[in-house]
Amino acid sequence: MYRIVRRKELNPSMIQLEIEAPLVARKARPGQFIILRVDEEGERIPLTIAGSDAEEGTVKIIFQVVGATTEKLRRKAEGDFIQDFAGPLGVATHTEEIRSVCVVGGGAGCAIAMPIAQEFHRLGAEVTSIIGFRSRDLLILEEEFRDCSDELIVMTDDGSYGRHGNVTVPLKEMLEAGKKFDLVITIGPLIMMKFVVAAARPFGVPVTVSMNPIMIDGTGMCGGCRITLVQDGKRVTKFACVDGPDFNGYEIDFDEAMSRGRMYQEFERHAYEKACNLFQGA
């Protein structure tokens, strides 16, 4: 069992938890993830490590309430326990030999992007961060990004805060003005990452995307997290849990990934409604 040390609501639908997990904290690196179960009857869900403290033995996770399991997790309080907390899993983000990086995060993806930006900053790279949200009330982690970025640009779809528009607008402006990046790394909704890759393509700047498909065991055995890459004209299957979650954005078949991501939406909606009804009756 793993104790919840601290709990914080970042916005109406996003929660930050710090979990007591010393073995995970000791090995965790930016870009890696854990798989947890809330209780013995619970499903396994992957969540990216949003920070860790090896001395305190804690691991930070940030999640958006979108389904039955995250609804159960949202109702946990400080001092409560969760059943399983396995990790760190996946390949850590490549940060070596990068001197200038643009980190592009969207919505809940900013929880993944933030520790990566912090690591680049710690290593002395020039960090430009672009974070985007639908509206001001969904904004998270602004101060954390500001502390680790040489330049921070906040975008909102409705113009209620920062600049009006999506995250590709300032990225294209900078690239068109001659700004050079060793790497653009983007984390967020698939459609956002697809357009970030499209915006960067004419300039030839490398783009890394962080994939978060359906995942079950986290060891590459179930095949649920498979994605398709196109390499030298050939379609190649990879598994996000062991080969990723980071991949070359120019190789990803985003349309297939988005199609697979929609497969269980109806099932998840019913599971979420069932969980909410159970809590209401408690």
Domains of the chain: 2-89 (2.40.30.10), 100-261 (3.40.50.80)
CA dihedral (199, 232, 223, 185) positive or negative: negative
C-alpha 169, offset from chain centre: 21
User: Residue 279 pLDDT > 80, yes or no?
Assistant: no
pLDDT at residue 267, as a whole number: 56
3-state per-residue secondary structure call for 205-251:
CCEEEECCCCCCCCCCCCCCCEEEEEECCEEEEEEHHHHCCEEEHHH
pLDDT at residue 8, as a whole number: 94
Angle at 151 between CA 145 and CA 154, to 5 degrees: 60
What is d(CA 127, CA 142) in angstroms, rounded to the nearest whole number?
14
User: Residue 88 pLDDT > 80, yes or no?
Assistant: yes
pLDDT over 70 for what percent of the chain? 93
pLDDT digits (tens, 9 = 90+) for 149-183: 999 999 999 999 999 999 999 999 999 999 999 99
Prediction pTM value = 0.87
- What average pLDDT does the structure give for the chain? 91
User: Residue 138 pLDDT > 90, yes or no?
Assistant: yes
User: Residue 273 pLDDT > 80, yes or no?
Assistant: no
Listed in sequence order, the residues at least 6 apart from 184 whose beta carbon sits closer than 8 Å to its beta carbon are 101, 102, 104, 171, 196, 200, 205, 206, 207, 208
Find, among 201, 233, 207, 227, the residue nearest to 215 by Cα: 227
